[in-house]
Chains A and B, each alone.
Chain A
Amino acid sequence: MRTDRRKILAGLGAGVVSSTVPAPWVRGLRAQEASEIPVAIASPMTGVFAFAGIEGTDGANHFAQYLNERGGIAGRKLRLIVEDTGYQVPQAVAVFNRLVAEYKVPLFLGDSTGFQKTINEEVNRRGLLLAGASFASEIDDPQKYPLQYMPGPSYSAQVGMLLKHIAATKKGARIAFVHSDTEFGRDPIAQSEALAKTLGLEQVEKIVTPPGSFDVSSEVLKLRRARPEFTVFHGYVMAPIPEFMKQMKEARIETQFMGTFYSSDLGILQKMGDVADGYLGVNAYNYVNQEGVSGPAMDFIKKANGGKYRTNSYLQPWTNLTLGTEAMRRCIEAGKEMTGANLKAALNTIKDYDMGGVIGVPISVPGNSIGVGRIFRANLKAGKMDPVSDWIKAEA
């Protein structure tokens, strides 16, 4: 019995070690060809955001296929190297160090605000371009984050769009902010409160929930007393938004629920159930199943997915790679080396660029973000999101 136990453990250990044995000669096989440009992606394929990471990986792979079928980047193929981070910053940093050293990538896609903040100095030191899944307002600062960009408007800009929509809908409306007590949740609040005042809106309540909270009954009581006409959620992907909406409806609080990018995905809203019908969300992209949306990129996406709905997490790396590879193309055609500084400068020359149907208007990237978004209403009975505004440009 002892011998069997040791053999089993020894076998498991040998399996772990032998899984890395092919590494040297496999890497020889994979040695970068001159006709390829590698891009590394740190994606959370396990952990709490695995659903987003897997969607994002598919989006990235489909983009690579789309681009390479159209001649690649100035004749060179795009090659993606994707690794799992488990949405852990130390793992993401380890992935960054390994892939950047091994593949000499000009562009790296990260997975979280924490990672993008942590790695900023290293990115500046190594001189490559970095984008990711974060819309943090802090990262939307070309002075502090000179070699980074994001695939949409910052959180502050997103809430700003919602507030302007509210102000256009009803002057002097009563609004409430409900956000999580995380860096993600707190990001746009101070600026948004100031903007609300400027727009003449009356902020009647601000609710801060601990991360991962489920019991919101005491917070709903506060909102019942405050009676907001518009309730803006931020800092959540799903919970506790449906619980808030359910209890507020039961308490007969007449309010319009609204939220930012991560709670505005149709798939997420469908999971919330009927309470989410009528929810207003600001999105940086058209929805994949949106009617009347067409363009080379969106048509490819629809065809590649056979009509299957793909979430916003699918479109984020698509957008990051669209902009990043366009910057590379401009660098190559200008005869410049693909350093981080040159790529960022090239990125910032992107003006009135057609995103092929992914975004409904031509976009520009003067700084670190794409300053456009649109507000949609959840029409869950029809299984779609209906636009209720035109494309809104965020103020610089």
Chain B
Amino acid sequence: MRIGSAKQTYAADEAIFKTNVQRAWFAALALALILFPFIASDYWQLLACLIAINIVAAMGLMILTGFTGLVSLGHAAFMGVGAYTAAYLSNHLALPFWLTIPAGGFVAAAVGAVFGIPSLRVKGLYLALTTIAASFILQSIFFNWTSVTGGARGLTIEPASFFGRALVTPGAIYWIAMPIAALTVWWARNLLRTRVGRAFIAIRDRDISAELLGIELLRYKLMSFALASFYAGMAGALWVYLFRVITPESFRLIESIFFVAAIIVGGLGSVRGAIFGAVFMTLVPELLKIGASDLAPYWPDAVKLLSPVRTIVFGALIVGFLMFEPLGLNEIWQRTRQRFALWPFRT
């Protein structure tokens, strides 16, 4: 039970882990993540890889939308840029994954900065429309720039290799995806403690006031787009190493909406929200599917009849969050933590 939390320095006040209990829980989480591939089946390892990739992508969108207040419906297209970059560099220059993944991020960042220019003039729904345009423009490029993207056929990529060992299973990719996810979460959390992070939040809260206080909107808005796109590009590069095939239909507008839903359900404006949202959006459809298939021995048509219902239930859960818990899963987490902060005493 923690009573009071006296800080004597600014550094202590800004620290991510404020108590030894928090550090212990974090160490336990890290240990669990390390042990996970040794105890989980291929299926759960694949889901873990998908969750890690979605965390990276959602974290990028959280920086852009949650921290800077800039709506984007083109996030999946930037993932596509990263994915195609990684695939092209791997196929044509035989670069290893530890070069192609950051390269995918940087190329996506450059593209994202270009498409972020309209944010200097428009915001809200109008900005959302320009990012939808980005999604369509990039998808058109994916379809038609055949010499680079393979056109409608897409590209296949050789497996990532580590000291000559091909990383072909989800368990092998886990050891790339999860550390990258952890790093990106750590970067994002630290970003909030820096001048840049505070500038993003100021722009989100009141951009005119932020400008009057000396925050250059041009610089920071484009930086936010570039950072978010960098995260998306890295996520896309990881995605292509996991599935080893990319087509223009892999990153469409609907995938961008998926990530927007993830950060809203997780809790806008928090690093934890991106993690919770990515886990929720990845796991819940799978859990619902498992539930439907478990009824199959008793009800042979269960899967066929419950599959559309499953989609409705998933949508209802998202709507439920928006209506009853607009601050998202992160708020539920905060309340739970608060309840146990002074446990066994009531708060």
Q: State the A residues within 8 Å of B (CB).
A: 5-6, 8-9, 12-13, 16-17, 19-20, 22-23, 26-27, 29-30, 45-46, 50, 54, 57-58, 61, 81-84, 86, 89-91, 93-95, 97-98, 100-102, 114, 117-118, 121-122, 125, 138, 181-183, 185-186, 211
Task: For the complex, give the distance between the alpha carbons of A84 and B245 in Å.
Answer: 21
Interfacial residues of chain B within 289-324, with CB under 8 A of chain A in the complex: 289-294, 296-297, 300, 303-304, 307-308, 310-311, 313, 316-317, 320-321, 323-324
Q: Which residues of A contact B316 (CB under 8 A)?
A: 12
Q: Which residues of A contact B42 (CB under 8 A)?
A: 97, 100-101
B47 touches A94 (CB 8 A): yes
Contact (Cβ within 8 A) B152 A54 = no
B335 CB, min distance to chain A CBs, angstroms: 9
CB within 8 Å for A98 and B43 given contacts A183-B152, A185-B152: yes
B99 within 8 A of A: no
Q: Across the interface, do B247 and A9 meet the contact criterion of CB distance under 8 Å?
A: no
The residues of A that contact B189 with a CB separation of less than 8 Å are none
Give chain B interface residues in 106-156, CB to chain A under 8 Å. Answer: 143, 151-154, 156
Name the interface residues of B259-305: CB closer than 8 Å to any CB of A. Answer: 284-294, 296-297, 300, 303-304
Residues of B within 8 A of A19 (CB): 287-288, 290-292, 294
Q: Is B325 touching A50 in the complex (CB atoms < 8 A)?
A: no
How far in angstroms is the closest Cβ of chain A from B233? 18
Question: Number of B residues contacting the other chain (C-beta, 8 Å)?
Answer: 51
Given contacts A45-B307, A182-B249, contact A94 B286 (CB under 8 A): yes
Q: Is the CB of A5 within 8 A of B152?
A: no
Question: Which residues of chain A come closer than 8 Å to B152, judged between CB atoms?
Answer: 181-183, 185-186
Assembled-state Cα–Cα distance A125/B303 (Å): 29
Known: A54-B304, A183-B153. A94 touches B294 (CB 8 A): no
CA–CA, A186 and B149, complex, Å: 15
Check if A57 sits within 8 Å of B308, measured CB to CB.
no
Please name the residue on chain B nearest to A27 by beta carbon.
B294
B250 at the interface (CB under 8 A from A): yes
Taking CB atoms, residues of chain A closer than 8 Å to B303 are 45, 57, 82-84
Q: Which residues of B contact A12 (CB under 8 A)?
A: 316-317, 320
| Chain B 30-78 residues near chain A, CB threshold 8 A | 41-43, 46-47, 50
Can you sample 11 A-B contacts with CB below 8 Å? A5-B323, A16-B313, A61-B300, A82-B296, A83-B289, A86-B311, A91-B285, A94-B43, A95-B289, A98-B41, A186-B153
How far, in angstroms, from A93 to B41 measured CA to CA in the complex?
Answer: 14
Which of A19, A114, A122 has the most C-beta atoms of chain B within 10 angstroms of its own C-beta?
Answer: A19
B170 CB within 8 Å of chain A: yes
Q: How far is the CA of A182 from the CA of B310 in the complex (A)?
A: 29
